[in-house]
Structures are given as C-alpha cells and as structure tokens.
Structure 1
Amino acid sequence: MRFNNPVVKGMYPDPSVCKVKDTYYLACSSFQYFPGVPLFESKDLINWKPIGHCLTRQSQIQLDKVNSSGGVFAPTLRYHNGRFYMTTTNDTTRQNFYVWTDDIYGEWSDPINVDQGGIDPDLYFEDGKAYFMSNGADDHGRGGIVQCQIDIETGCKLTPSRVIWQGTGGRYLEAPHLYKINGWYYLLAAEGGTEYGHMVTYARGPSPGGPFEAYPLNPVLTNRNLGGYEIQGVGHGDLVQDNGGNWWMLHLGFRQIGRWFAYHHLGREVFLTPVTFGENGWFTAGDNGTTLSCFETDRIPEEVVQNEKKSDTFENTEWDKDWCYLRLPRSGNYSFERNRLTLKGTEISLDQADTPTFIGIRQRDFNAVITCDVSLESGEAGITLYMDENHHYDFAIRKDENGYKVIERLNIGDIKSIEKAVDIHHSCASLIIRSTPNAYSFVVQVDGKEIHLGTAQTKYLSSEVAGGFTGVMIGLYAYGEGCLAEFSNFKCEYA
C-alpha cells in the first residue's frame, strides 16, 4: 500500500511510541500549551486518533508565565507490567519527571521527579531495573547521553549518573531511546539541532550501559542537504515493531512552505519511516537514509486506507482532545456548547507570556479556509494565527467609542500594526481567513458582502523568523474586561 507523510499533521513534535497488544500509542511535546503531552492511538501506524493528554491538572505542571517554547519538552511513552509511564522535562524549571497510569484513557499520576539534569528523558525496563536516560552532564560534569538506575516507585537514583555515549560529533546530542533487539542494546539519538541539520544516529552495545559502538554509516536517517525538498528537519525518532515483525521509526520533521523557500510555520510534525535490520545486526532507515513524503510498502495490508480529515469544526472536534489553551486557563472564562463557544475577555493580551482568554487548534496544512461567526458587545474578539506572544496575526471585531470595527493586526517582533480597519454597523460578522503556503488573506462578510482587508506573509510566523519550537495555532480569543464574545459556525477546511 501507499501512505503519505506526515501521518500526524500540525504542531505535534518529538513523537514517542509504544505498542500494547495490537494498539500503538503516541505522545508528543506540548511546550506552553495546556493540557500537556497530547496522546494518540492507532491500529495501523498511519491513522492516528487523539485520545487525550497526560498532563490534565494544573497541579501536574508549572506553566505560569512560561515563555513560548518553554514548558513541556520531549516525552517518552513506555509500557511496563501493565502500566504506562510518560517521562518528560519542564524546561522552564529544568526538572525531569514522570507520571504513570494504569488506564491511558483516564487520569495520570502526580509527577515523580528525578534528580538528573538534561532534557529528553527516556525510561528502559529490564530484570526488575528501571534505567533513566537524558542528554546532559553526569555527576562529574561530563556531557553526553547520561544514564542512572532509579527506584520506579519514588524516582530516587540508585546509581550515579554516568555518560554512556557522546554521539558522533554532531551538535546538540539529544533524544536518547534504549531498546533490546535480538540480543543487542540499541541506543537511538538525535544530533544536529531540531532544524535543517537534524539527523538520527545510533549505537549498539552488549549491555544497557554499553560500551556502545556507533553505527559505521551514521546518520541512519536525515534529510539535511536535500535542496528543493519539502520535508526537512528529520530527526528525534522512536522505534516500534509491528505485528508482522517489521520495524518502523516514528520521528519528527517539518514541511517548508516551498521547494526553494526555506521557511516553515506549521511546526514539527510526525512522520513514519520503515526500518530494516541487516544480517550484521545494524539497521537502515527510509529511502537510502532519507524520509519521503510518500512510501510504497508491503508491510501494511492493502486493505488499510489512510484517512485524512479535511475539516475541523466545533461539531467534529473535541474540546478536551483537539483544542488547547495558553498556559494555565481560567476555566470561568470559557463556556462550551456543541456548536458554540463563549469567551470572557480579561486585560491579559496575546502579546503577554501569560494566560489570555484563548483556545486554539493546530493548523494542519498550508491550504485552508478558516471561517467563524463572531459577535460581542464590548472589547475585542476574533481569530488569531498564533506562533508566539511576539508573532501572531489577529483578525477581530473591536468595539470603541465610535462603534464596531473589524481589524487586521500584524504582530511581528517589536512591530505591532493595525494594517486596516473597516467600520461595520453590527456587533457581529463572519470572519474569513484564506491560507496558502505563502500568505494569509483576511476577508470579512457583512450584510452579504465580502470586504478584503489585506494579506500577510506566512514566513513571518515561521520558526526561521520567530525562533522557538512551536507552530501556528488557529486561536479564538477575547480581550478586554467586560468583553463577552460568542463564536459559532467555526470551520477550518483544508484543500
């Protein structure tokens, strides 16, 4: 059969996967968004359904006034003796921790901290022992992939932290995962930075602590130096074996907005790549070590169909699974119905690293039409294309002393400009945003007429301009004390 990449679209970076019986489970990073660490399940590795989050209580994660791209970094999801474990980092507090659950569809435990630094923590279980790994420095300050044994009940270290591998020489060695396959212990990692030089490397050894020998042909997977190729930034992978005994890698990558236009704003997404073990015990990945936008494979039955969701609406999404907030929301400011959303504004704006009244869903493709009916009596409310507090495009209705206006405001770094404002005679309007790979256009529909306010280039919401590790969220927001806004008929339709 033929499947297309990415298999999970939109800003879902740093995927980690585990398999329980015939079901695969996937966890991804969430950074400053709440709930934290989104979860998916699949029966075939290509169709993934959101099932919830690991961090659903504010007591589980400190996100108050966390800057964009801070907060919850790369998770590892593992299953051992009937229990799921998710270990991750709050990069803002520099604390590694894990949570656990016996029901992946239910609540997770309170955090259990581990006194080992670095980020991208990993758990490996064997013979009653729990090994904890991260990138960072050991107890003597030596850098690399660091490992210790922990008491899985308490998180307390049972052995000193020591470096077990220092990679192949690429910068930003990270994302360690340990596996035992056919008698060898394989240590997977990422190097090169989560950008255009990103790559997957690995080593193998005779024990969980090594010594580890690097794969002679590292990197095993990378799309670096592929000029004119849409998929870039390939790295940060996790291995999983399917029911047929075949091996796969779920990993991140991103789609740049044009073959020769090196910007990306959808964020880092989830890609699937086949892995093949050779007779010598080393494995290869992808198409000559690269990830493709489309793979032909006989590993997935022909009757499996890759289903792609072409629209998001209030009715076909779930508030607690598909949508998320900025940092720690004030629940009293949100009222949900099946086809309507009511938001109560505050004096906290989208420009602050704080908790504005905002709920967002990830933009999943370049070509889209976003529509929503918005009404309010005071303040400001509308749609924001949100990258971070310094980079977002706002399309909104605003009430001032002269009446109601629809505004197009561009926020690019220190430049914050209302590009155009048009007067309307009502407190409600239909807002329309048309998206292409290169630009957003803003149109308001009032009294059956469409008024075009302007356009804005997508590249100014890209990681190359804004920095950080996130992607564009389609956010609905309200601003201003006393603002009470209603949103209805929301739809994001992808071409």
Structure 2
Amino acid sequence: MLVAALGAAWAGAPSSDPPAPDAVFDWFAYTGRDVAFEGTVPPGSFRNPVLAGFHADPSVVAARGKFYLVNSSFTFFPGIPVFQSDDLVHWTQIGNVIERPSQLDLDGLSVSRGIFAPAISYHDGTFYVITTAVDSGGNFIATATDPAGPWSDPIWLKSIEGIDPSLFFDDDGKVYVINNDAPEGTPRYEGHRAIWMQQIDLATRTPFGPRKVLIDGGVEPAKQPIWIEGPHLYKRDGWYYLSAAEGGTGPQHSQVVLRSRQVWGPYQPNPDNPILTQRDLPPGRALPITNAGHADLVQGPDESWWAVFLASRNYAGVHYNTGRETYLLPVTWTDGWPRILAHGKAIPYVVPGPAFMAGEQDQAPNTGNFSWRDDFDEPTLGRAWMQVRMPKAPWFDLRKQPGCLTIHPLAAGLDTLGNPSFLARRQQHLAFESSTALALPPPGTAAGIAAFQNERFWYFLGVRRTGAHAEVFLEKRGGDAPATVVASHRLQPVNERVQLKMQADGGAYGFGYDDGHGLQWLVQDADGTLLSTEVAGGFVGAMIGPYARDERPRPSSGKDL
C-alpha cells in the first residue's frame, strides 16, 4: 500500500528545517447526490459511468479469466491506477503502475501534463502498460507478472516520439507500437496529426524497422479532421481493425474505425463513421453526457464485444467538474464493422449488462449515489487517496496518533509546481457534500479541506490560530492573480476541535464550519465553475481532501508559478 511504499522510498531522508506543527484529522467523509443517479437499477443492468469522476482515457484487456483496466493519471501520484473486474461492470482498484517516487519525476509540471493515455495488454504471462510521460521523459513501457504490482521501472522508448502508444500482438508473433505523432512533412493545419506504426522487439524493448503512417489526419482528410489519437489495433475474422479517437477531447470528440486485410494497410475507413460520438445531439438536453471518445474494445468470455471509453457529465451547458469518466457500452458488428452507439443516440445512464455480469447491482464507490468515509483507523492509506506530483519527504502519518491522519505541513502551497501536503480524492458527483473533523492546529499551521482543479484554480477552507484566537477562512485562486481570502470568521471552539463542510450543486459551492455551536455557513453559492475544465482548462477533474500548510515566515520550498 501507499504508506509502506513511500516509507521505504523516504528512509533516511534528511531535513534541514525544523518541522511545522502537525495538523490532525479525525475523519473525512463524502456523499454524492446526483439527480442522474437517483432510482434503482433493474436486475441485470448496470449504471454508467462505471468509474465516475476523473478516470480518463481507459484501456482494457481480458487476461486470466478477468478484466484489467488502466486510466491516465497526469501528475497525480500514485500514477496509472490498475483496476480488476470479473464482469466489466464492478471494478476494484488493485494497484498502480507508478507507485514509487523513483519511477518518475513530475516536479515543475502543471497538473495536466505527465501520464497521458496508458494502454494495457497481456502476452505470454506478462502484463504490459505502454504510455507517454509528457514533458517528463516521453514514451515508455512498464511490465509486471502480477497486475497488482510491483511494476517495473519505466523502459524508455527514446526513438518513438508523440503520444498515446499501444501495443498490438499479431498471430505470427510480431509485435507493433501504434501511436499518435506529427504527420510527415509540415502539418497542413492546427491539430493535423497522424497514426504511426513500427515493429518492436519485446525481448530488448527496442523498436526496429520502418516506422510508417497508417492514418494521415483522420478518416476524411479533405475535411481537415483534428487530433487523431488514442489508437488501438485488433484482429477479427482475418481483418485488422484500427480504431482511434478524432475531433479533440471536447464536445467534438468521436471514435472512428478503419480496416485492412494487411497489418500495414492500406486501411479503409468505415463508411458509417463515427462509431461513437455525442456531438450531434442537442446541447440543451437534460442531464447531458458529452465529449465521448477514446474507446478501447474487449471481448467477453461469451464472445460478446464491449467498449470502454471516456465521456463527461455537464451542468449549465458546458461545465463539468468531475472530469472525463469511464463508460461501458456493448459493441455490435454489422457487415464486418463494429459500432458502439447509433448516430444521434444519447449515452444511457442505465444499460443492460453483459450475460456474464455478477448479480450484485451495487457499483459503489465507483458510481451511483453513495456515502464514503475514512476514519483513518487502518495502518495504510486507502487507494482512493492521491497526491499532486511526487513526494520528496514524508508528510502524512497514520501511526503517530492511531485512528487519526496526521499531516506534517509543507511550505509548498496549492499554487506551486511541487508536492503540497494535500491528500486528494476525486469529486465523483455534480452534487455532493464533504466534511472533516480536525483539531485546531497550533500557530504556524493552517489546515482544512481543499477543492483543487489545478495550481491556478482551487478553494481552501481552513482554520488557523491568530494570536490568542482561532479563525476559519476561505481562500480562493481563480486564474493568474494570487490567491485571495474570500471570507473569514473568528471561532469560539468548545473543545479545541472543529468540523468543516463543503457542499456543491453544479457550479454553486458552499463552505461551512461547526466549532461546537452547530453548522454555520461561511460562504454559500461560491462560484464553483472555476473548478470546471471549461474554465480551468486541462484534462483532469476536481479533487477534494485534507490539506495543511506551513505558514511560518520563511521562503517557500515549492516551485512557484
């Protein structure tokens, strides 16, 4: 688990500064209340998304009688979560490909850089994950015999540029790398990309031979399609099927497919492309699911085909705070072509499940409305928690005060490009509430709950001591300007403890406190759209969790913007 791994990585780490006073949290709770998740799911059906909240760029493989799935993690650590399922519907996270700080350096990167679009495959007893560490090393492969880990250190593929690589194992034993890169020559327009392929020797992890373009631009080059990416190659009934995302990861996102009798092509596009999109639906529809694409196909034990893909749930037309999520739909084959969803049809929130689906209908805590609570009474931290970038020093502890989370605050703030002392879990609902109880921190430390989209867009509901008094405050950053205090109030704590609460409904966020005299709202209807991708940019979703900051007067240890 995470604490044990980090403890080993940090053993003997020197510290030149005296530690800041600790922040101690009793528990952390989260409850989702989305309208789209109300009601019961009929027997034999499942709820979409299957992984709610920031679970972008899914890739899936069937192996050893089970299914395994990975997602992009960008600059969050541990990185590249690995999920396991018996039925494609109920998923359990079993590990992470990047679980040791020594595997990758993400310092200095904005949140939406780092790990892009990992692809998982299985061959001859070994699991392979191939991906791109954007601005932090390029393309690499990691391997494991157990998908729960440990995974190898990155094996860098220095000769392959671009992003979104995947592996294809052909029947004749040859293995290929397929990925997105700039086209040959000068791009004709912004977003002009190509899909390339090259053979690779897995024994030496070395690409060799010619590297050739399989798709230049997209399925209709004359229309100047943008951002062809996320390619996967499959073989069925003697045909090679090349599937890729097209149109960018926003409202024009789609999935297209081409096929050939030869692995090197030429590939002919499906005359009925795209095989998945939501761009042709009315924007004002109720409970919209948008941005659908970046699919990966897998075959079940009954020979049925299924697709996992990303999409987003919007509010107020264009905003989504929950990021790009993982969805599941059946794949139908007609005249030798796959289709995920008919043109003009909305992605359903409830779907008839696979014939091999487990009988249990509950998919919590991955989707649906549920309540989740961490009492910090385990010796290791649960897999729901992540950090921003790689830790360089141990700053959380579950053993110092058993039954509590102790944070040793760092000076690096949420607006730095380092590793702030912030434990993050995904916001999985448009409407939710989250709360925590903590001891009033000693002077020099501020502690509370953060809602974080990236280093330029966040809220921090905190408490601190000011002289002989204590105060609760709400701090906000919403762009290039420095963070500001939105509101503050002097506390009258009954027993040196305080509860903090955050709640949201779409773009309206509320921030409150209870110092022993009942819940009081510090700010209501705060602008939560600054936590949306539409405003903040990037590729992740909002994250929430305990945060503590060293406020003693000394130079910051973080890499500031």
TM-score range, shorter chain: over 0.9
1:13 aligned partner? 56
- Give the letter aligned to residue 470 of structure 1: V
Q: 1:240 aligns with which of 295, 298, 319?
A: 298
- Per the alignment, residue 401 of structure 1 pairs with 467
Could you tell me which residue of structure 2 aligns to residue 322 of structure 1? 384
CA shift for structure 1 position 438: 2.6
- Candidates 421, 424, 431, aligned match of 2:491: 424
Moved more, 320-329 or 382-391: 320-329
Q: Residue 36 of structure 1 contacts residue 55 of structure 1 at CA under 8 Å; is this kept in 2?
A: yes
Match of 2:347 in 1: 291
Distance change >3 Å, CA 217–CA 419, structure 1 → 2: same
Q: List per-residue Cα deviations over 1:292-347 (Å, max 9, x = no partner).
A: 22223564558352432312222499725211111011342110257421111122
Counterparts of 2:375 and 2:210, CA distance in 1: 52
Partner of residue 332 from structure 1, selected from 381, 394, 414? 394
Aligned pairs for 1:332-371 (under 5 A) are 332-336=394-398, 339-371=403-435
Task: Confirm or deny: 8 A CA contact 2:88 2:357 kept in the other structure.
Answer: no
Relative distance call for 1:330 and 1:311 in structure 2 (3 A) is: farther
Q: 1:434, CA displacement in angstroms? A: 1.6
Residues 346 and 482 of structure 1 are in contact (CA less than 8 Å); yes or no, is this contact kept in structure 2? no
1:60 Cα deviation (Å)? 1.6
**Structure-2 separation of matches of 1:265 and 1:385:** 10
Q: Deviations over 1:142-191 (max 9, x none)?
A: 84101101111333221122101122242111000011111111111001
Would the alpha carbon gap of residues 81 and 302 (structure 1) be closer, same or farther in structure 2, given more than 3 Å must change? closer
- Matches of 1:400 and 1:93, distance apart in 2: 41
| Partner in structure 2 of residue 129 of structure 1 | 174
In 2, are the aligned partners of 1:148 and 1:158 still within 8 Å (CA)? Answer: yes
Report the AA paired with residue 394 of structure 2. G
Tell me the equivalent position of 1:492: none
CA contact (8 A) 2:531 2:542 kept: yes
- C-alpha distance in structure 2 between counterparts of 1:447 and 1:369, whole Å: 19
1:474 Cα offset (Å): 0.8
Equivalent in 474, 488, 512 of residue 443 of structure 1: 512
Please report how far the alpha carbon of residue 44 of structure 1 lies from its aligned counterpart in structure 2 after TM superposition. Answer: 1.2
Deviation at 1:402, TM superposition (A): 5.0
Cα pair distance change 1:436/1:37, threshold 3 Å: same
Matched, 1:377 2:439: no
The answer to whether the 8 A contact 2:275-2:342 is kept is no
Match of 1:488 in 2: none
Moved more, 313-322 or 53-62: 313-322
- 2: CA distance between counterparts of 1:306 and 1:244? 23
Task: Write the distance in 1 (CA, Å) between the matches of 2:395 and 2:299.
Answer: 44
CA contact (8 A) 1:36 1:54 kept: yes
Partner of 2:19: none
- Note if 1:107 corresponds to 2:171: no
Inter-CA distance 419–481: structure 2 relative to 1 (3 Å threshold)? closer
Residue 546 of structure 2 is aligned to residue 473 of structure 1: no
Match of 2:329 in 1: 273
Letter in 1 for 2:57: D
Is the aligned partner of 1:312 residue 2:367?
A: no
Shift of 1:42: 0.8
1:419 CA displacement: 1.4
Give the Å deviation of 1:112. Answer: 1.0
1:146 aligns with 2:187: no
Superposition deviation, residue 413 in structure 1: 0.6
Change (3 A) 1:315 1:45: farther
Which one is further off, 323-332 or 4-13?
323-332
Q: Is the 8 A contact 2:50 2:363 kept in 1?
A: no
Instruction: Describe how 1:36-185 pairs up with structure 2 within 5 A.
Output: 36-93=79-136, 95-114=138-157, 115-126=159-170, 127-137=172-182, 143-166=193-216, 167-168=218-219, 169=221, 170-185=225-240
RMSD value, Cα:
2.0
- Aligned-pair distance for 1:140? 6.2
On the 8 A contact 1:137/1:146 being kept in 2, the answer is: no
Contact kept, 8 Å, 2:89 with 2:357, in 1: the verdict is no
Classify the secondary structure of the residue corresponding to 1:358: coil
Deviation at 1:12, TM superposition (A): 0.8
> Is 1:264 aligned with 2:320?
yes
- Letter of the aligned partner of 1:283 in structure 2? P
Percent identity of the aligned residues?
34
In the alignment, the residues of structure 2 paired with residue 138 and residue 160 of structure 1 have an alpha-carbon distance, to the nearest angstrom, of 15
Note the alpha carbon deviations across 1:414-464, whole angstroms, 9 max, x for none.
343211101114453100112212311111001232221113122111010
TM-score (norm 1): 0.92
Question: Aligned partners of 2:552, 2:356: CA distance in 1, in Å?
Answer: 55
State the secondary structure of the residue aligned to 2:535. helix
| AA in 2 matched with 1:201 | V
Deviates further, 138-147 or 458-467? 138-147
Q: Tell me the equivalent position of 1:196.
A: 251
User: Aligned partners of 1:202, 1:435: CA distance in 2, in Å?
Assistant: 39
Gaps of 5+ in 2: 1-43, 188-192, 554-561
State the match for 2:242 in structure 1: 187
CA distance in structure 2 between the partners assigned to 1:21 and 1:99 by the alignment: 19
Is the Cα contact below 8 Å between 2:461 and 2:475 reproduced in 1?
A: yes
Displacement of 1:134: 0.8
The change in CA–CA distance for 1:399 and 1:291 in structure 2 (over 3 A counts) is same
* Counterpart Cα distance in 2 of 1:301 and 1:363: 27
Aligned partner of 2:67 in structure 1 is 24
Number of residue-to-residue matches in the alignment? 480
Using the TM superposition, give the Cα deviation of residue 138 of structure 1 relative to its aligned residue in structure 2, in angstroms: 6.4
For 1:344 and 1:440, how far apart are their aligned partners in 2?
28
Give 1:433's aligned amino acid.
Answer: M
Between Structure 1 and Structure 2, the one with more strand by share is 1
3-state SS of paired residue (2:417)? coil
The SS at the match of 1:72 is strand
Q: CA deviation at 1:467?
A: 0.4
Instruction: Name the CA shift for 1:420/1:137 in 2 (closer, same or farther; >3 Å).
Output: closer
Higher normalized contact order (CA 8 Å, seq sep 6+, divided by chain length): 2
Letter in 2 for 1:438: G
SS at match of 1:459: helix
CA distance in 1, matches of 2:240, 2:433: 48
Equivalent-residue separation in structure 2 for 1:285 and 1:297 (angstroms)? 14
If the length of structure 2 is used for normalisation, what is the TM-score?
0.82
Q: Which whole-Å CA distance do the structure 1 matches of 2:414 and 2:357 have between them?
A: 46
Distance 1:468 1:154, change over 3 A: same
- Counterpart CA distance in 1 for 2:183 and 2:510 is 51
What is the one-letter code of the residue matched to 1:357? S
